Amino acid sequence: MNEEPDTSVRPFVVGIIGGGQLCRMMYAASIGLGLRVRILAESPDVSAAQVGSDVVVGDYTDHDTVLTFARQCDVITFDHEHVSTEILRAVAAEGIEVRPGPDALIHAQDKGIMRQRFADMGIPCPVNRLVADADELKAFGDEVGWPIIAKATRGGYDGKGVWKLDRPGEADALFAGLHGGADILAEEFVDFTRELSAIVVRSPSNQAVAYPVSESVQKEGICTETVTPAEGLTDDQAITCQELALRIARELDVVGVLAVELMQRADGSVVVNELAMRPHNTGHWTMDGAYTSQFENHLRAVVDLPLGDPGLRDPYAVMTNVLGGTVEDLPSELLHCFARDRRLRVQLYGKQVRSHRKVGHVTVTGQDLAQVRRRARHAASRLMGIDDEAETDGDTDGGRR
Ligand code: ADP
C-alpha cells in the first residue's frame, strides 16, 4: 500500500520575527541544537534571510501577516522588540507561546512604562518624568538641574531618539521638531564614568544564568566595543549588577535573554539605563568567548531546555564592532586578519556596507587585556579600512598559543 505522508504532523518549529544579524546568529546556534527555525524577514536579502532555510518575507507590523506566520510555529521569539503587544496578545490567545511574552516585552518597548515599573520595584534609575510639552520639560530641568536628557519613549535605537539639553531654550526646539509625534521622558543627566551591561537568560522553568558583566564603550550612540569582565569592577559591584538583572528578569517574567544597560558613576554605584529582551550587542562576545553563547541560551530558554554555562573561556574577552567603513568586500580583508592572528574570531553579517552600519564584529580572548584589546581593535580597524598601525605594536599572542 502506498501510504501518504501524514502532513498534519509537523516538527516543532521556533519562529523568529525579524531577520537581522541577531536572528542570523540565533539561526547559527539553532543548527547545532537541531531546532527547526522559521524566520519572518523584512525582505529576502536581510542578514538572516540570506542563510535561513525557511524564510517568510512579510511585514511584522501587519496583524494578519504575523498571525499567519505564527500559526506555522509552536513558539515565537524575536530579533527586535518592535512587534506590537496587541499583535502578540492575539498570537498568544491562539495558544502559541510568545517568548518573551507581551507583558514582559512592553518594558523593553516603552521607556516610560519601564521607568514606572522600576520605580514601583525600587530599581535604581535616573530621576525621571514623562512630560507633555516644552514647559513641563523646562520645569523638570529647573528642578533637577541642567543639563537633562530627553528621550522618545518608543522606537529609539543606537542613540536615536535621545537628546541632551543644556538649557531651557532647547526644550522648545525639541518639541517643535517632534511635530507631536512622540511621548517624551525627561531624565536627570547622569554623570556616569562608564556604561556596563548585565546579561542574564531566564527559562520558563525559572532557571536563570548570568553572564559576566561587560563594559560597553559607546561612540555617537553606537556600541563600538565591549570588555568582559568590565575592568576593575569589584566582585560586589558585579554581583549587584547581576542580581539587579536577575531580579528584573524574574519579576517581569522575561523568557530568553535580558540585557540590562547600566550607567556607573565614579563612586561605583549604578543606575539602569534601559533593557533589551533579545540577544544584545553587548553579549556578542559570548559567541566566541563563553562556554554557551547568548544566542544558544536564548534559544534554549525559548524551548525550555536547561541553560548552558555562561562563563568565560579565557580571563578576558574583547568584542569590537565592525562598522561600515571604506572596505566593501569584507571577506577580502580576512586574509590579513587571520594570517596575523590565529585566535581571532570574526562574525560577518552579510550586510551591505554603509557608513557606520553594524556589519560584523570580532572577538579576541586571552589573559592580557591590553593585548587582547589591541588585537581586536587591529582586526576591526582593518575590516573598516582604518589603518591603526600607529596604535598597535603588532605583538600578538594569537599565533603562538
Ligand atoms: P537607545 O534606545 O538609543 O539605546 P538609550 O536610552 O540607551 O537609547 O540612550 C543612549 C545613550 O544616551 C546611552 O547609552 C547613554 O550614553 C546616554 N544616556 C541615556 N540616558 C542618560 C542619562 N539619563 N544621563 C546621561 N546619559 C544618558
What's the CATH code of the domain at 153? 3.30.1490.20
Asked whether residue 86 is marked as a ligand-binding residue, the answer is: no
Ligand 1 atom nearest 187 alpha carbon = 23
- Indicate whether 224 and 158 sit together in one domain: no
Tell me, in angstroms, the distance from the centre of ligand 1 to residue 159's CA: 7
pLDDT band at 398 (very low <50, low <70, confident <90, very high): very low
- Residues 164, 42: Cα–Cα separation, whole Å: 32
- Residues 18, 12: Cα–Cα separation, whole Å: 19
Instruction: Say if 153 falls within a structural domain.
Output: yes
Here the CATH number for the domain that contains residue 204 is 3.30.470.20
- Indicate whether 281 and 215 sit together in one domain: yes
- Indicate whether 168 and 183 sit together in one domain: yes
Q: What angle do CA 123, 128, 134 make, to 5 degrees?
A: 165
Whether 162 is in the pocket of ligand 1, judged by its Cβ within 6 Å, is: yes
Cell matching residue 152: 522618545
- Indicate whether 375 and 243 sit together in one domain: yes
The count of structural domains within the chain is 3
DSSP annotation of 290 reads: B
Please write the tens of the pLDDT for every residue from 29-59. Answer: 999 999 999 999 999 999 999 999 999 999 9
Asked whether residue 295 is marked as a ligand-binding residue, the answer is: no
- Indicate whether 38 and 165 sit together in one domain: no
pLDDT band at 6 (very low <50, low <70, confident <90, very high): low
- Indicate whether 182 and 200 sit together in one domain: no
Whether 156 is in the pocket of ligand 1, judged by its Cβ within 6 Å, is: yes
What is the average per-residue pLDDT within 306-334? Answer: 97
Instruction: Say if 113 falls within a structural domain.
Output: no
350: CB partners within 8 A, 6+ apart: 24, 47, 50, 51
- Indicate whether 131 and 181 sit together in one domain: yes
Do the beta carbons of residue 232 and residue 274 sit within 8 Å? no
pLDDT band at 11 (very low <50, low <70, confident <90, very high): confident
Asked whether residue 189 is marked as a ligand-binding residue, the answer is: yes
Say if residue 122's pLDDT is above 50.
yes
- Indicate whether 60 and 159 sit together in one domain: no
Instruction: Say if 392 falls within a structural domain.
Output: no
Ligand 1 atom nearest 158 alpha carbon = 3
Say if residue 60's pLDDT is above 90.
yes
pLDDT at res. 387: 84
Domain's final residue, options 188, 213, 233: 188
Instruction: Say if 150 falls within a structural domain.
Output: yes
pLDDT at res. 394: 44
pLDDT at res. 392: 47
Whether 350 is in the pocket of ligand 1, judged by its Cβ within 6 Å, is: no
Whether 108 is in the pocket of ligand 1, judged by its Cβ within 6 Å, is: no
pLDDT at res. 181: 74
| CA distance to 62, 149, 194, 233, 235, per residue, from 268 (Å) | 45, 21, 10, 8, 12
- Indicate whether 296 and 233 sit together in one domain: yes
- Residues 296, 300: Cα–Cα separation, whole Å: 6
Instruction: Say if 107 falls within a structural domain.
Output: no
Q: Which domain holds residue 176?
A: 127-188
Whether 262 is in the pocket of ligand 1, judged by its Cβ within 6 Å, is: no
pLDDT band at 382 (very low <50, low <70, confident <90, very high): very high
pTM: 0.94
Instruction: Say if 375 falls within a structural domain.
Output: yes
Domain's final residue, options 166, 188, 210: 188
Peptide bond into 229 cis (omega under 30): yes
pLDDT band at 397 (very low <50, low <70, confident <90, very high): very low
pLDDT band at 98 (very low <50, low <70, confident <90, very high): very high
Q: How many residues does the chain have?
A: 401
Say if residue 8's pLDDT is above 90.
no
Q: Give the number of C-alpha atoms closer than 13 A to the C-alpha of residue 28, restricted to the C-beta side.
A: 17
Mutate to test the pocket of ligand 1, among 273, 274, 280, 282 (most ligand atoms within 8 A of CB): 273
Asked whether residue 81 is marked as a ligand-binding residue, the answer is: no
Domain's final residue, options 48, 83, 98: 98
In Å, how far from its chain's centre is CA 145?
A: 31
- Indicate whether 57 and 42 sit together in one domain: yes
- Residues 230, 243: Cα–Cα separation, whole Å: 16
pLDDT at res. 178: 84
What is the average pLDDT value for the chain, to the nearest integer? 94
- Indicate whether 245 and 356 sit together in one domain: yes
- Indicate whether 174 and 297 sit together in one domain: no
What is the average per-residue pLDDT within 215-234? Answer: 96
